[in-house]
Structure 1
Amino acid sequence: MSTELQQVQKVWDRTRPISPIYEFLLNEVEIYDAEKGVVRARLQVAPRHLNSKRTLHGAFSATVTDWAGGMAIASHGLDATGVSTDIHVTYLSTATDGDWLEIESRANKVGNSLAFTTVTISKKTESGLLMVAQGSHTKYVRARSS
C-alpha cells in the first residue's frame, strides 16, 4: 500500500464515524488507489443513493464531490482537508440501483490557504466508463508552514 493511500485511508477512517452523511452515503466506498493529488474509489449504487425517480440523486453526487475532493487533498499529506468555499457539479448522465461507480478525484492545486479539486463520477458499462457527473470543489485549508 502506497504512503498516499495509507494517508488517505487514515483520514477517511477518522472522518467517517464523525460525519453522519458520509457514514450514511459512503460507508461501503472502497478507496483502492492513491498517489499525490489523485485518489480513486468505487462504490455500488444502493437505494439510499437514489431520488424519487429511482436514479442517482444529485445531492449524492455533490456529497461525493465534497468527500472525494477532501481525500485528494489528504493525499498531499494533510490530516485536515479544509472547509468548502465553493462546490459545483455538472450532471451528465445517471445511474441506478446496482450500478458500479468509479470515482476519481484530483487535487489540482493545494496552496497555503486554498485547494482546488476536480472529481469525476463514472459508471461502468459493457462498453467502458460513462461519465455521470463532474464536480469542482474549492476548499479553504489552514495555512501551512513551509
Structure 2
Amino acid sequence: MSESRSPNQAATDAEILTHVQERLLARQLPTSPLYSLLIPDLTIVSATRGHVLARMPVAKQQLNSRGSLHGTTSACLVDWGGGVAIASHGVDRTGVSTDIHVSCLSTAKEGDLLEIECVAEKVGRTMAYTTVTIRKVVEGSESVIVSSGRHTKYII
C-alpha cells in the first residue's frame, strides 16, 4: 500500500487489512524475538484506517508468578498495537516510541481470550498518538477491560 495516494484514492478496508496483516505476519513477529515470545498467537480480526482489532489467547509465558497476565505482556501489546494502528494509515515505518503508559485494571488468566483494540488518535508528519485497550472476552457478557495504554511515537 502506498502512502502516495491522493485523497480521492483512499485505500479500501480490505487493502488496509492486507497491509496490516503483511506487516505483522511477514515482518514483525518473525523478526522480533520479544514479539515472538510474548505475542506469538496474535491474530488481526479487522483493520480500517486508524483502527485495528486483534485477538489473542492468554498463554503460560504471558503470566506473572501469581498466574495472571503479566504487566510486561500488556506493555508489549500497547507497544505493538500503537505501531499497527499507525501502520493502518498506510505507512511502512511507524517510528520509535517516545512515551508509553500502561494502566492495569483487571486480570486475565491462561486460556482467556483477549481482544486488543488499537486506535491511532492522530498521525502527523513526525508524531503519532495512539491508544490501546485490552479486554478479556467473556461469553454471554460484556468484555472486561484488563489494561489500557497510550503510546506516542516519533515517525522517522
TM-score interval for Structure 1 and Structure 2 normalised by the shorter chain: over 0.9
**Structure 1: gaps spanning 5 or more residues:** none
* SS at 1:17 equivalent: helix
Aligned residues: 142
CA distance in 2, matches of 1:27, 1:47: 12
1:2 aligns with 2:27: no
> Following TM superposition, by how much is the alpha carbon of 1:24 offset from its aligned partner in structure 2, in angstroms?
1.0
> Following TM superposition, by how much is the alpha carbon of 1:128 offset from its aligned partner in structure 2, in angstroms?
2.0
* SS at 1:66 equivalent: helix
1:113 aligns with 2:113: no
**Structure 2: gaps spanning 5 or more residues:** 1-12
| 1:75 paired residue number | 88
Amino acid at match of 1:24: L
Amino acid at match of 1:129: S
| 1:129 paired residue number | 143
Deviations 1:71-97 (A, max 9, x none): 000000010111100000011101000
Structure 1 residue ranges (4+ consecutive) displaced by more than 2 angstroms after TM superposition: none
TM-score normalised over the length of structure 1: 0.95
Q: Which protein shows a greater Rg?
A: 2
Whichever structure has more strand as a proportion of its residues is: 1
> Following TM superposition, by how much is the alpha carbon of 1:125 offset from its aligned partner in structure 2, in angstroms?
1.4
> Following TM superposition, by how much is the alpha carbon of 1:101 offset from its aligned partner in structure 2, in angstroms?
0.2
* SS at 2:54 equivalent: strand
Cα root mean square deviation, aligned: 0.9
